[in-house]
Structure 1
Amino acid sequence: MLDDRKASILRAVVQEYIETAQPVGSGRVSAAPGVDVSSATVRNEMAVLENEGYLAQPHTSAGRIPTEKGYRYFVDTIGSPGALRGEQAKQVKAFFARAHGELEEMFESTSRLLSGLTAWTGVVVPPSAADVAIRSVQVVGLAPSTALVVTVLADAMVEKHSVELPADVGDDVVARASLHLAAQLTGTMRGAVPADVATTGDPDTDGVVGAVVEVLRRTTPADTADEVFVGGASRVASAFDAVETVQQVLSVLEEQLVVVTLLRDVVDRGLQVAIGTETGMETLADAALVVAPYTVDGERAGSIGVLGPARMNYPEAMAAVAAVSRRLGHHLTEG
């Protein structure tokens, strides 16, 4: 743990470096709010912070820059994400007020929203359809031996499947089967439709129920969790100085499964922010990722995040990701 003076000096260095991307000298730090000591004292304390691994000096005559350890201390002392205010809060509210249409389009737009709020790259991982609850099931007769099954999931995804019925049945039998299936399957995970749905006692109705269940089990959605929506990938070019780093980060963003696994891993470790080597990827050694899961009907669904340089504005990025994840989860739950 750092004493108050060292902590205030470290925070001042991090904040100044985030704003300028230039090594920070003692003069700038001594003039920062909350640092009430002379430049000479600041220089001594910065030397101690360097020895302890919180700061680094790129050149002998240069000021200091934060290390991964320095950023981590800064992030850990921020606390819970603050609330978005002003125009950004209005922007998020307005976005979800008009967010309608296809889910894929909404996820894509949400990634661009995150990018616009933070000036870095926004990433949205949709829920895996197999892990989303069924909100409703409806069976509609199309012909004496054919019906259409319409399944609405909790994230507002709609599936449609045609079903060959075991015999010519009337609309009343199809209607009874539809009501029974809705009662039995509502709330069930889409990827866990049971084979032994309770019977009704009527052979014709049970025949329709069995046919529908067979189709739903056979067509369990492919795992969409390896899909990812990326907004503002071009912002990576302005985020890093080295061309090689830009190319490496862009190559990561092009690998959807890698990005999904990365976000999942960070969330599973209980982190809001992964900095440099904490991401587990050598190519992201100079980057940072701010993430948050979002929930649908109270269950964790997908995740969102912002990828940028290690010197990103963490308070702003954390507030944006937290606000968008809450709004997205609420929007999907409400349908």
Structure 2
Amino acid sequence: MSAKRIVPESQPRGPELDKRKAYILTTIVYEYIATAEPVGSATLTQKYNLGVSSATIRNEMAELEARGYLVQPHTSAGRIPSDTGYRTYVDRLMPAESLASEESDRLRTEFARAGRAIDEIVEQATRLLSQYSQNLAVVVAPSKDSQVFRHLQLIWLADRSVLMVVVTTAGVAEQHVIEPVVDVDPDELTRASNALNRRLSGTLLVQLDRGTVVDALATTEPPLHASLIDGIIAGFAHARRPEERRILFGGAQHLLDQPEFRDFKKLRSILDLVEEQRTLYNVVLDSIERGESTPSVRIGGELELEDMSECSLVAIPYRMGDRSLGVLAILGARRMPYGRMMALIAATADHLSQHLTDVELP
């Protein structure tokens, strides 16, 4: 499936918003997020103390629409925020939120239950993010070049057959069979294992090249046969071989609860993207600025895909120590509570990163 790309909205027209227009825009965004119904001047007059007449509010709303912050979905209906209106709200008008301490404590406890295997940890992150956000959670799993070598075992199978087991600090194990051209004995393998573990534990897998391995084995007595060394080098190459990064999804059923996706055609297009994976994978990675550590928000047309024009994406990287491992993301309707989603995803990334760092420590 080829997703059709679109051009994002143009920038707002005219000067910066004055205080009253900013307040009216903020109130409309707040009301629309809460009700999913277009907002009219009568609603604003009745529910909010804006301190001006309904006629003044209508005039201000008309100007906000003319300048691209609001749109009128139906004739004689109220207004809803445009992409530009949401963007202005998120960047300039939205009050900062933080996760309640009780929720934060629950997240910490839930991650502690995930164990030490990295697959289990990222699966737990997907479940939690979906559960707490009530949206579609997307998690890009770590790549192998971010894995750190913890230890290996060289296990004697036969005189000329050795099983090499490589274990990373995140609990990932890779196996490789070595077939040296000379006989080997278990004591020789133990000495080689001890030398490699002593010298290389804590090294990134991607750094375990031929020169590094040869140097680590240089002091082994008696010296290892070249075919065994070559087999060990091949085993490390096998452990760090490039592979497709996993992308995990959770909570697609939550989209059914949102009015925007009760149109089956719209929902089907999102589910098709989930099934296809590659497009969403690229969208999520493209949403993160290099070196960024705070949530990134892309709204509607900013995602540049027609099938996602009614969606917004909140994304943030997660880490192990000082290394970026992957990305967490929440995909939902443009009408999402952005402050809540940004606070949630930031707290989830913090707890996930801390758990991964704790797992990495010897």
TM-score normalised by L of structure 2: 0.83
Query: Match of 2:173, as an amino acid?
Result: V
TM-score normalised by L of structure 1: 0.89
Report what 1:307 is aligned to. Answer: 331
Q: Is the 8 A contact 2:144 2:242 kept in 1?
A: yes
Report what 1:290 is aligned to. Answer: 314
Q: Does 1:232 align with 2:247?
A: no
Q: Does 1:63 align with 2:81?
A: no
Report what 1:155 is aligned to. Answer: 170
Pairwise mapping of residues 107-126 of structure 1 onto structure 2 (< 5 A)? 107-126=122-141
Q: Is the 8 A contact 2:40 2:79 kept in 1?
A: yes
Pairwise mapping of residues 71-150 of structure 1 onto structure 2 (< 5 A)? 71-77=86-92, 82-100=97-115, 102-150=117-165
Q: Is the 8 A contact 1:174 1:205 kept in 2?
A: no
Spell out, residue by residue over 1:128-156, the C-alpha distance to the aligned partner (whole angstroms, 9 max, x if none): 12332323334344444333333222433
Pairwise mapping of residues 127-206 of structure 1 onto structure 2 (< 5 A)? 127-197=142-212, 198=215, 199-201=217-219, 202=221, 204-205=223-224
Q: Does 1:246 align with 2:267?
A: yes
Q: Is the 8 A contact 1:54 1:66 kept in 2?
A: yes
Please state whether the residue corresponding to 1:312 is helix, strand or coil: coil
| Cα shift at 1:237 | 2.6
Query: CA, structure 1 residues 110+218, in 2 after alignment: closer, same or farther (shift >3 Å)?
Result: closer
Q: Is the 8 A contact 2:41 2:57 kept in 1?
A: yes
How many residues in Structure 1 have an aligned counterpart in Structure 2?
334
| Cα shift at 1:317 | 0.9
Spell out, residue by residue over 1:153-201, the C-alpha distance to the aligned partner (whole angstroms, 9 max, x if none): 2433222333334533344432332233234433443244312231515
Report what 1:7 is aligned to. Answer: 22
Q: Aligned partners of 1:298 and 1:135: how far apart in 2?
A: 17
| Cα shift at 1:220 | 3.1
Q: Aligned partners of 1:300 and 1:80: how far apart in 2?
A: 28
Q: 1:211 is matched with which residue: 215, 231, 244? A: 231
Please state whether the residue corresponding to 1:330 is helix, strand or coil: helix
Report what 2:241 is aligned to. Answer: 221
| Cα shift at 1:282 | 1.6
Report what 1:48 is aligned to. Answer: 63
Q: Is the 8 A contact 1:154 1:297 kept in 2?
A: no
Q: Is the 8 A contact 1:55 1:66 kept in 2?
A: yes
Spell out, residue by residue over 1:222-276, the C-alpha distance to the aligned partner (whole angstroms, 9 max, x if none): 4242x21111112223332422111111111111222221111111376711111
Q: Aligned partners of 1:196 and 1:203: how far apart in 2?
A: 19
Using the TM superposition, name which of 300-309 and 163-172 deviates more.
Answer: 163-172
Query: CA, structure 1 residues 324+307, in 2 after alignment: closer, same or farther (shift >3 Å)?
Result: same
Q: Aligned partners of 1:105 and 1:117: how far apart in 2?
A: 18
Q: Aligned partners of 1:164 and 1:196: how far apart in 2?
A: 21
Report what 2:283 is aligned to. Answer: 262
Q: Is the 8 A contact 2:206 2:240 kept in 1?
A: yes
Q: Is the 8 A contact 1:154 1:333 kept in 2?
A: no
| Cα shift at 1:78 | 5.9
Q: Aligned partners of 2:174 and 2:309: how far apart in 1?
A: 41
Q: Is the 8 A contact 1:121 1:236 kept in 2?
A: yes
Q: Structure 1: where are the runs of 5+ without partners?
A: none
Q: Is the 8 A contact 1:118 1:320 kept in 2?
A: yes
The Cα RMSD (Å) is 2.5
Query: Match of 2:132, as an amino acid?
Result: L
Using the TM superposition, name which of 22-31 and 197-206 deviates more.
Answer: 197-206
Q: Is the 8 A contact 1:148 1:162 kept in 2?
A: yes
- The percentage of counterpart residues that share the same residue type is 35
Please state whether the residue corresponding to 2:287 is helix, strand or coil: helix
Q: Is the 8 A contact 2:117 2:171 kept in 1?
A: no
Q: Structure 2: where are the runs of 5+ without partners?
A: 1-15
Please state whether the residue corresponding to 2:52 is helix, strand or coil: coil
